[in-house]
Structure 1
Amino acid sequence: MNSYLDFEKPLAELERRIAELRAAADQEDVEVDIDAEVDRLEKKAQGQLATIYKSLSPWQKTQVARHPQRPHFSDYVAHAFSDFMPLGGDRAFGDDQAILGGFATLDTDDGGIKVMLIGHEKGNDTQSRLRHNFGMGKPEGYRKAIRLMELAGRFGLPVVTLVDTSGAFPGVEAEERGQAEAIARATEACLNLPVPMVACIVGEGGSGGAVALASAERVLMMEHAVYSVISPEGCASILWRTAEKAPEAAEAMKVTAQDLARLGVVDRVVEEPLGGAHRNPVTAARSLARAIAGELAGLAGKPAETLREQRANRFIAIGSLA
């Protein structure tokens, strides 16, 4: 069953009517042919969907990025990668389920590319969301990511990260275990990698918790993802003392993929299926896989120093008025 956002309510009514007609057609005692009406309503729904998603505001895109049915790390692993071998633990405290990673093969048309895959996992129901801490990484999660990056460097494997977090976990226990230091070290590990790295913002990219896994030489962003230093609600609470101003904050912060590509913060926007990645996770995952494969092909064979320099230069250039 689809979960509809507020601005999708007109579409919800159409799709509800289509479902009712199909259910009626499945009843054995119904002899009326309703195919023509279903076809008419489906075309109308598709048109409405295209109209809605062609002019989404930054706040609406934020809602799409947070959609409860939006694909997460495990979905991309299932549809865009194979031979995933998860590796756990930071060898110091424990294993953080908000950040997952391991060896994997990126599925491509010509066989596949061996990579080290790391990313945030939010979960898809109440139980799994609690287990994965809603994708909010703890220090041990970022230290696990550092360990996997170092392993990738040792074996000469490119690193692919899937970023999807509202931010690093802000709890007291995380601060006690050195959250800020772990994030800084993870960012440093990205910048010092001797192998190619491609980061993908697939949902929310929030604050340092996102940057710690996104300091790559190539940063991709899904069409309806968002990426910012703070959530629109957090920004609104600071500037206007109320989270109700979140739509205005989202507009001012330039959180969308289109704005960030124009500003040079991300390098490439990956197109999503009509209506967002949650409407067709398989197509979304395969589209992302093709984009990642293309970027890795362009980075293949470059020496470590060139990669490090490229990473440093892209971040130094952000915000430059020259």
Structure 2
Amino acid sequence: METVRAARASDKLSAHYLREHLFSDFVELHGDRQGADDPAIVGGIGLFAGQPVTVITTSRGYKLEERLAKHFGQPEPAGYRKAARLVKDAARFKRPVLLFIDTAGAFPGKEAEYAGQGQAIAQCLTDIGQAETPIISVIFGEGGSGGALALACGDELWMMENSMYSVLSPEGFASILWKDASRAAEAAELLGLTPESLLKGQVIEGVIKQEGSKSAQCREIARVLEEELAKLKKLPVSSLLNRRYERFRKF
């Protein structure tokens, strides 16, 4: 449960901070090309280590009005359609994709269900899984349910030390299993949601150290991403896709 609290901490790295300190010349792109633009997903094009990349982040917002509009970082269907569109564009122009995830899950509101939340997540999984370009995801806070999985289905998934990734929240797990949300700490133990547990289970590729200042943490993220992108870019497209397919088959 300590990991859960750290993943939810208000003073941790934000998506805005990551975009500002990892990328230069970032240009945000809007819209899902179906008439909507979900602010909970912020994505665009920027330069990383001198190369153009597509950047996609979940965004919780700062002021209350902004947080409400973004559902505290829980994307609606338009957000997943936007992410899928940006990934397909990246593949078309041979740009690597870097995704940064901090979400409790997809927005569970009635309007999101009416708009096709499940279908949007499924299509996002499919489009990212088939994109012919290197794709790396990083969880830097919460990684909840299919809302996080939809953005974590590329070639590699890394987690910050103080982050979590699970099928649902400990509170939700406890409510379903025991009808008692107060047993969340017990549920957190059973879920195996820590980076260490997930690395042991080969669900993720590695854990990024979270030491020192936020700028130091960004430098560590950049170091890992540079090394991993260099490896992935050497692979032929067919090998990249086969490797991605086998990665998920083992689950």
Q: Which residue of 2 aligns with 1:223?
A: 161
Offset at 1:124?
Answer: 3.1
Does 1:309 pair with 2:242?
Answer: yes
1:125–1:70 CA distance, 2 compared to 1 (3 A): farther
Inter-partner Cα distance in structure 1 for 2:237 and 2:127? 13
Inter-partner Cα distance in structure 1 for 2:199 and 2:140? 15
TM-score by length of 1: 0.76
| Equivalence map 1:123-202=2 (5 Å) | 123-202=61-140
Does 1:295 pair with 2:219?
Answer: no
Would the aligned equivalents of 1:193 and 1:304 in 2 still touch at CA under 8 Å? no
Inter-partner Cα distance in structure 1 for 2:250 and 2:162? 24
Does 1:87 pair with 2:25?
Answer: no
Inter-partner Cα distance in structure 2 for 1:125 and 1:314? 39
Offset at 1:190?
Answer: 1.1
SS in 1 for 2:85: helix
Q: Which residue of 2 aligns with 1:64?
A: 6
RMSD over aligned CA atoms reads 1.1
Offset at 1:246?
Answer: 0.6
SS in 1 for 2:34: coil
Does 1:286 pair with 2:226?
Answer: no
Q: Give CA deviations for 1:263-321 in whole Å, capped at 9, x if unaligned.
A: 100001000015xxxxx222212211111111101101322221111111111112xxx
Offset at 1:126?
Answer: 2.3
Would the aligned equivalents of 1:97 and 1:133 in 2 still touch at CA under 8 Å? no
TM-score by length of 2: 0.97
Does 1:241 pair with 2:203?
Answer: no
Would the aligned equivalents of 1:138 and 1:179 in 2 still touch at CA under 8 Å? yes
Q: Which residue of 2 aligns with 1:26?
A: none
Q: Which protein is bigger by CA-based radius of gyration?
A: 1
Inter-partner Cα distance in structure 2 for 1:284 and 1:210? 22
| Equivalence map 1:14-25=2 (5 Å) | none
- Percent identical among aligned pairs is 41
Offset at 1:65?
Answer: 0.4
Opposite residue 95 of structure 1, the aligned amino acid is D
Inter-partner Cα distance in structure 2 for 1:124 and 1:249? 30
Offset at 1:131?
Answer: 3.0
Would the aligned equivalents of 1:254 and 1:260 in 2 still touch at CA under 8 Å? yes
Q: Which residue of 2 aligns with 1:115?
A: 53
Would the aligned equivalents of 1:207 and 1:230 in 2 still touch at CA under 8 Å? yes
Offset at 1:186?
Answer: 0.3
Structure 1: any 5+ residue segments left out of the alignment?
Answer: 1-58, 275-279
Would the aligned equivalents of 1:236 and 1:243 in 2 still touch at CA under 8 Å? yes
Total equivalences in the alignment: 251
